[in-house]
């Protein structure tokens, strides 16, 4: 027994979202039946206009409302330092941390052969074009510290070396170790080994 | 640092849903940025039409598309047996179990003094009108087996007794005990005691 058509449509839409199962989708749809129509219309409008009202930055591919995103438009940000992130949410996490003064490049994912995602499916050609343009002095690779993220970081490094630009551009990878507030006792072995490797002298 | 306005609107809408926190809301909104516009519009239309295309059944208050819901319209269903549920999702759970041949009454919640919900905020007056009409022979109270559900069940029973109709109408409560597939070892004490009380002879 499925729900009636108008309700089922909403359930199906929710179920297509990542991390929303059939039971949560049904609960959300039936919850919305008790919400004022005005709020439903507002929700619907926000969804319908989400892509219409946004643009990808022509330089870094961050989400914005104009041709260039707020970060790229900001004249106080150093254009010589570029932090390479997987997506706009990762960029936002760095912005929230409020300490980075360079700009970004949003790859739009990571290299993942199992999902059939190669370098040309990402904004890697565009990154290489920015690198070739010559303004960049440091590339900070901030892809996630998992298999695909590391592979993407290695690919980018190799690519820039192949282009013969590794002397002009410093390529760095975000630090590895224990996150703030963590417990040595509960940290996994790999994290501990990485923390030992990247130890620094007490000042 | 918040997201840009069009994205933030979608995040806010998701965050207003029950069980969706700020991080999941952001993840969903940024995920939708990569979905084709056509799907977004479909989602938006489904939401906007959810309430416009549905009606509450005039008899049992289940969600439907016409004045009377599919269950109430079904002539093979016994109108003398009424199962009282909290909401349409609970009704759907019984329909999915596919064995009940009576009809329903959807209360639209439970009596909950802490949330300021009294009998008149629910469809209890309408249930009493159905009871008074005289067709009903059995009322199966299927509110949830928690404090509010039990209180509502007791209230309904008392109310019908007060109306002097308890001889004409059998009032029952859904059975209590161990759910199928459960483990006696992990069952809580109250469930075990209820299972003992409602034990039945082996046939």
pLDDT at A1: 57
pLDDT at B139: 94
Q: What is the 3-state secondary structure (H, E, C) of chain A?
A: CCCCHHHHHHHHHHHCCCCCCHHHHHHHHHHHCCCCHHHHHHHHHHHHHCCCCCEECCCCCCEECCCCCHHHHCCCCCCCEEEEECCHHHHHHHHHHCCCCCEEEECCCCCEHHHCECHHHCCHHHHHHHHHHCCCCEEEECCCCCHHHHHHHHHHHHHHHHCCCCCCCEEEECCCCCCCCCCHHHCCHHHHHHHHHCCCCCC
Chain A residues with CB under 8 Å of B96 CB are: 1
Å between A7 CA and nearest CA of chain B: 6
Blockwise average pLDDT, block size 10, chain A, 203 residues: 88 96 95 95 97 95 94 95 95 90 96 94 96 93 93 95 90 90 87 86 77
Cross-chain residue pair B10–A50, CB shorter than 8 Å? yes
Structure tokens at A55: 């643009």
pLDDT at A140: 94
**Torsion sign across C-alpha atoms A10, A15, A17, A21:** positive
Residue B32: how many CB atoms within 10 A of its CB?
A: 20
Range name among A166-175, B22-31, B100-109, B194-203 with the lowest pLDDT average: B194-203
B residues 53..92 contacting A (CB < 8 A): 53-54, 63-65, 70, 87-89, 92
User: Which of B4, B5, B56 best tests the A interface by mutation, with the highest count of A CBs <10 A?
Assistant: B4
Chain A residues with CB under 8 Å of B99 CB are: none
* Facing B49 at nearest CB: one of A6, A30, A65: A6
Distance CA B29, CA B24 (A): 9
Work out the pLDDT band at B1, boundaries 50, 70, 90. low
- Give tens-digit pLDDT for B103-115: 999 999 999 999 9
Angle between helices A5-15 and A22-32 (to 10 degrees): 130
pLDDT at A182: 87
CB pairs under 8 A between A and B: 142
pLDDT at B69: 94
- Domains of chain A from N-terminus onward: 5-49 (1.10.8.420), 69-173 (3.40.1360.10)
- Interface predicted TM-score of the whole assembly (ipTM), two decimals: 0.83
pLDDT at B37: 96
Work out the pLDDT band at B129, boundaries 50, 70, 90. very high
| Residues linked to residue B55 through DSSP beta bridges, in sequence order | B64
Å between B131 CA and nearest CA of chain A: 26
Top-confidence residue, A39 or B203: A39
Å between B176 CA and nearest CA of chain A: 23
- Asked if residue A127 lies in contact with residue A156, where contact means CB atoms within 8 angstroms, the answer is yes
Q: What average pLDDT does the structure give for chain B? A: 93
Q: What percent of chain B is predicted at pLDDT more than 70?
A: 100
B140 interfacial to chain A (CB closer than 8 Å): no
Cross-chain residue pair B48–A41, CB shorter than 8 Å? yes
Top-confidence residue, B198 or B131: B131
| Whole-angstrom Cα Rg for chain B | 22
A147 interfacial to chain B (CB closer than 8 Å): no
Å between B108 CA and nearest CA of chain A: 10
pLDDT at B142: 94
Cross-chain residue pair A28–B17, CB shorter than 8 Å? yes
A23 interfacial to chain B (CB closer than 8 Å): no
pLDDT at A187: 87
């Amino acid at each position: 027994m499925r729900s009636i058509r108008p309700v089922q449509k909403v359930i199906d839409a929710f179920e297509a979202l990542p991390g929303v199962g059939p039971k949560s989708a049904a609960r959300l749809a039936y919850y919305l039946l008790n919400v004022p129509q005005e709020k439903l219309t507002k929700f619907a409008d926000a969804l319908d206009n989400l892509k219409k009202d946004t643009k990808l930055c022509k330089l870094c591919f961050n989400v914005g409302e104009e041709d260039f995103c707020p970060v790229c438009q900001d004249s106080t940000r150093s254009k010589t330092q570029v932090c390479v992130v997987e997506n706009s949410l990762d960029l936002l996490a760095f912005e929230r941390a409020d300490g980075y003064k360079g700009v970004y490049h949003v790859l739009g994912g990571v290299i993942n052969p199992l999902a059939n995602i190669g370098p040309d499916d990402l904004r890697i050609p565009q990154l290489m074009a920015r690198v070739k343009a010559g303004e960049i002095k440091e590339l900070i690779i901030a892809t996630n510290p998992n298999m695909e993220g590391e592979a993407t970081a290695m690919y980018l490094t190799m690519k820039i070396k192949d282009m013969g630009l590794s002397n002009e551009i410093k390529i760095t990878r975000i630090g590895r170790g224990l996150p703030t507030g963590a417990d040595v006792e509960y940290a996994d072995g790999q994290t501990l080994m990485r923390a030992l490797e990247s130890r620094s002298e007490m000042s």
